[in-house]
Structure 1
């Protein structure tokens, strides 16, 4: 089998594996909304927002909690920028690295143009992670002001359920950023060879299954 065929087969298998996992996850959530830990987290945020807006004595605690959330997202967005810069540096060394990084599979290494394609895929995922974390920070900055409004005075788009919806949107963006980070692991191993891409993809799906599943299920 040619080296190009091995690369394409590894990519097809990895994509099919991830798509199959997410299809399985969607089916399970339709059967049981509490199957994933994400649903529990969303409900917890809704209850938390309602309690904070009802009890004004918890304003400081809420702002501190959101500040920690913002700091975590900011740190990960900054890390994504550094990783993007490092990935761009790799793209300029395709001629040398495309051969030296394939020591594990015994191949001479793909053509530099194909190796650059791998780097571009890695770069794309990191950019998605950056924007996801940046959107998390943006939404949380609005929630900080909204959550300080007393429930008796909040109505319309400022009602507790709407504020909770915005907080959950920030949580979804944060989750997208984390999943993008997780996806970089198989892509990094792909730089060393198609076989490692397959193994890393299997490991990623197993890790996601453990992380996504509600421990009570």
Structure 2
């Protein structure tokens, strides 16, 4: 009897999650093997040149560098704040004695038992917590770059453009991971209304992300390997 109530949750939710994870594994492979066919790889190459240009002509471009990094920090701060606010709301719902599942029992498919409802909210809470963690670490690395990018360059300088670029890439990598975790959490929010919506949203999200992640109309870099551009 329990299987009849939750079989859609057991099948559709993991399947939708697997589709999203499989896409990101394939995207990671493309970034490592053909970076210039992806937005992530192309932007990483551009940031390498940007760091070199900022540090080479630091006297004239120091304000531009600080302002650009500040805007990035503001974006990460916004996402971290949103994630922790969602975590606080989910924690309040989990600890509340009010049963949020009652109005939905007769309107959606899937299981509505106490265990399943708890599993839904705990899963969401975990994903948004990891998103907050990644964004907070991203802010840490970009703050370091904000200081080091204005370091005077000389023959004995320990802080090189390559070192600053590696710190910047770690910050952007964590920012990307935090954003993707946040995006994965959005379909799972629909799990409250049933597993069918989770699956449909996950399947719809993949082509949307594909169009946002890949460069179209150029043939550059399709056979190039630039593993050294990524941390």
Task: Report the CA distance between 1:104 and its aligned residue.
Answer: 4.6
In the alignment, structure 1 segments of 5+ residues that lack a partner are none
Correspondence 1:97 to 2:100: yes
Distance 1:110 1:96 in 2: 11
Deviates more, 1:53-62 or 1:72-81: 72-81
Query: If the length of structure 2 is used for normalisation, what is the TM-score?
Result: 0.85
Counterparts of 1:103 and 1:209 in 2: how far apart (Å)? 36
Compare 159-168 and 94-103 and name the one that shifted more: 94-103
Moved more, 144-153 or 26-35: 26-35
Assess if the C-alpha contact under 8 Å between 2:76 and 2:135 holds in 1.
yes
Match for residue 117 of structure 1 among 112, 119, 139: 119
Task: Return the alpha-carbon distance in structure 2 between the equivalents of residues 154 and 111 of structure 1.
Answer: 66
- TM value normalised by structure 1: 0.90
Q: 1:216 to 1:102 in 2, by over 3 A?
A: farther
2:37 counterpart residue number: 35
Q: Distance in 1 between matches of 2:122 and 2:182?
A: 15
Higher relative contact order (CA 8 A, sep 6+): 2
Partner in structure 2 of residue 66 of structure 1: 69
Whole-angstrom CA distance in 1 between matches of 2:156 and 2:106: 62
Aligned residues: 215
Q: CA deviation at 1:146?
A: 0.6
Compared CA separation, residues 102 and 153, structure 1 to 2 (3 A)? farther
How big is the shift at 1:212? 1.2
Aligned to 2:190: 189
Q: Decide which moves more: 95-104 or 45-54.
A: 95-104
How far apart are 1:106 and its partner, in Å?
Answer: 5.0
CA-atom RMSD, angstroms? 2.0
Residue 191 of structure 1 aligns to a residue in which SS?
A: helix
Following superposition, which runs of at least 4 residues in structure 1 exceed 6 angstroms of deviation? none
Paired with 2:28 and 2:140, the residues of 1 have a C-alpha distance of 28
Distance in 1, Cα, partners of 2:37 & 2:118: 39
Structure 2 segments unaligned to the other structure (5+ residues): 219-231
